With several copies, the nearest count.
Chain A
Amino acid sequence: MIRVLVQSSAIEVAAEFDLHDAGGHGASASFIGRVRGDHGLAELFLEHHPVMTEAGLGNLAHAAADRWKLSALTLIHRIGAMAPGETIVLVLASSAHRAEALAACEFLIDRLKTDVMLWKRESFTDGRVAWVEEREGDQSRAERWESDIP
């Protein structure tokens, strides 16, 4: 089962785990990314290009599922306004064996950072508002997988 969602409502992690696990899998690896409240952050806003984000996530999901023979994959990205502590992204990959589940999870979270058409805007408690600049590290982590572009 491949489940890919881009949603403005809260990501219900426990419910997504339950849904994903319905089949029972040998190994499941997950990644949960949350809004950090560093530096006085009050709100994170994620803007997206709907068509490109959906296509990007769908392509990533199918590439990972094929390559690592996943028995299930859940890939959910939050958009819109979020408070510190809220979940931005959930990746949950299952396979018969641990190496495949772990590799797929890591691939997806690295590639998500660069392949999905999303822009972050941060609002701080002191009233400052700023769009996040591109980070060098994201690009180089994603390039580790470059030869695997679907």
Chain B
Amino acid sequence: MALNIAYFSWVRERMGVADETVDVPAGVGDVGALIAWLAARDARGALAFAEPQRIRAAIDGVMMGPDAPLSGARELALFPPVTGG
């Protein structure tokens, strides 16, 4: 399954890209599993997702927990807690 992923803040910096389209492997069904897969994929992912509890996720603009399924998602956004306003 093809999925667009957007990164923000230091997650973006550590990944080295603002967004990418990945081919999600069979067996990676939810947000938490995808983060674990990215962390295992390469050194940049290992750096960005070393502390998964610090990562927040949104699917198509809606905040989601690690158990949220990826099926039907167009865009997954991964980022640290907001510090804005």
Contact = CB atoms under 8 A, between A and B. Distances in A.
Asked whether any CB of A lies within 8 Å of a CB of B in the complex, the reply is yes
Interface residues of A, number: 28
A133 interface: yes
A118 interface: yes
Given A121-B9, A131-B9, A55 B61 contact: yes
Interface residue range, chain B: 10 to 19
Contacts of B27: none
A119 interface: yes
A52 B77 contact: yes
A102 to B, nearest CB: 14
Dominant SS at the A interface?
Answer: mixed
Contacts of B12: 47
A113 interface: yes
A58 to B, nearest CB: 12
B37 interface: no
Interface of B: 6, 8-10, 12, 58, 61, 77, 79-85
